[in-house]
Amino acid sequence: MQNRKVLIYNQEKCTGCRSCMMGCSLFHDGECGKVLSRVAVVRNEALGESFVVGCDLCTDAPCASVCPTGACSYDPALGITKINQDRCIGCKECAMACPFGAINMSYKTGKAFKCDLCEGRSEGPVCADWCPSNAITYAQPTVAFKAKRREKLIERLKAVKAEEED
């Protein structure tokens, strides 16, 4: 359980290229378009900022708790909420409830769709696989958090050292 891989978004690394969105829509829907992507990139061009938004794999997921039909529910085996397309009535409650805006409505079916970690793809989710800057990684949380901790610590120590040298 502890070692099941999760998606981790490193906002400071996102270049805003939308490779993830293209991979996502092509893999799942066989079309390319921002409107069919489960992951989204928000760009602020004037300031050169980009942010990547996707399912953060909540355990106590707001999307599942607000779903009136039980279409959206947490799958403990996968560790992610899934939307049962047969039961979804397209009410958009989950899309509004998601704190990250990671749920979208399909223009084809009128129903909600969301990340499924590219279920069945042996290399893991396409978005993480294709991300050129490692802004999205698919990793074991304990390992990823440990690495992050070390990275931040080294950064801080380096800065202190540089200051001392000055």
Partner 1 sequence: MYGWCGQRLRVDLSKGTIIKEPLSYEYRRKWIGGRGMNSEVIYREVPPNLDPFDPDARVCFGVGPISGTAAPASGRVTVSCKSPLTGGFGDSNMGGHWGAELKYAGYDQIIVQGRAPKPVYIWIDDDNVEIRDARHLWGKFPREADAMIKQELGDEDIHIVVIGPAGENLVRFASTFNDVYRAAGRTGHGAVIGSKNLKAIAVRGSGTVKIARPKEFFDVCNRLRQKFKTDPMRKFLYEIGSLSLINVANHDGWLSVNNFKQGAHPEAWRMSGEEHSKTVLKHREGCFACPICCGRFTEIKEGKYAGEYGGGPEYEHSVPTGPRVGVFDPNAIWHNMILTNNYGMDGIETGGVIATAMEWYEKGLITSKDTGGLELTWGNQEVVEKLITMIAMREGFGDVLADGASRAADRLGLGDEGHKYTIATRGMTLPGDDPRGLGFAYGVGFAIGTRGGCDHLRCLASLELSGFMYPGLNTKILGDERPVKPTTTVGKGYCCFYEENQKAMVDCLNVCCFTTHWSYAVLTADQVDYFNAVTGMDITEEEFMEIGERIVNLERAYWARLLSGKREDTIPERFQKEPMPKSVDGQTNVGYVFPVEKILPGYYKYRDYDPDTGFPSERRLKMLGLEDVAKDLAPLRAKYNSESEKKKKKYYY
CB nearer to partner 1: give 5 or 18: 18
Residue 53 bridge partners (DSSP): 40
Instruction: Please identify, among the stretches 44-52, 61-69, 85-93, 147-155, the one whose residues bind partner 1 according to the rule CB under 8 A.
Output: 44-52
Residue 11 engages partner 1 in binding (rule: CB under 8 A): no
Q: What is the DSSP string of 82-131?
A: EE-TTT-----HHHHH-TT---EE-TTTSSEE---TTTT-TT--HHHHH-
| Binder among 5, 8, 10, 26 for partner 1 (CB under 8 A) | 26
CB nearer to partner 1: give 84 or 134: 134
Query: How far apart (Å, rounded) are the C-alpha atoms in residues 163 and 71?
Result: 56
CB nearer to partner 1: give 76 or 107: 107
Residue 19 engages partner 1 in binding (rule: CB under 8 A): yes
102, 114 Cβ separation under 8 angstroms: yes
Question: CA torsion, points 113, 114, 120, 123, in degrees to nearest 10?
Answer: 140
Name residues contacting partner 1, limited to 67-106 (CB under 8 A). none
Single-letter amino acid code for the residue at 140: Q
Residue 31 engages partner 1 in binding (rule: CB under 8 A): yes
Query: How far apart (Å, rounded) are the C-alpha atoms in residues 64 and 159?
Result: 43
Residue 39 engages partner 1 in binding (rule: CB under 8 A): no
Q: Point out which residues bind partner 1 (CB under 8 A).
A: 13, 15-19, 22-23, 25-27, 29-36, 42-50, 107, 126, 129-130, 132-133
